[in-house]
Amino acid sequence: MKYLALIYAAPDTGPAPDTPEFGQLLADYGAASETYEKDGVMLAGEALQDADTATSIRIRNGKTETMDGPFAETKEQLGGFYMLECANIDEAIKYASMIPTAKYGTVEVRPIMDYSKM
């Protein structure tokens, strides 16, 4: 089954760029990605640009509206994701717990809907 591990963190809670701690964070992400690849569970994974680069879209009464930034006002912002192929939720949680941002942010694990099995 496919799972999406959504990576959230509040701005300025992780290591600052150009610090040794940030270098370690990137190395830890590399190690997690390497484990996912080695174990054959990684389908995709990407970091996202900051939330202030986002555009939210909604259609109301047939008219498309766009807004700068994320629609929801939250402290934690979506910063990236991994798509994993796992046997079950427990395995997905095991792999998601390897995501370094979980130490100061939140990783949400969510099954992907498979409409072909409905």
Per-position DSSP letters for 85-108, written without gaps between them: E-SSHHHHHHHHTT-GGGGTSEEE
**Residue 69 DSSP one-character state:** S
pLDDT at 95 over 90: yes
Rounded to two decimals, the pTM is: 0.89
The pLDDT confidence band at residue 67, using thresholds 50, 70 and 90, is confident
Q: Report the chain's terminal Cα–Cα distance, integer Å.
A: 14
Give the residue numbers spanning the domain of 69. Answer: 2-117
Q: How many domains does the chain have?
A: 1
CATH number, domain with residue 20? 3.30.70.1060
- The pLDDT assigned to 101 comes to 96
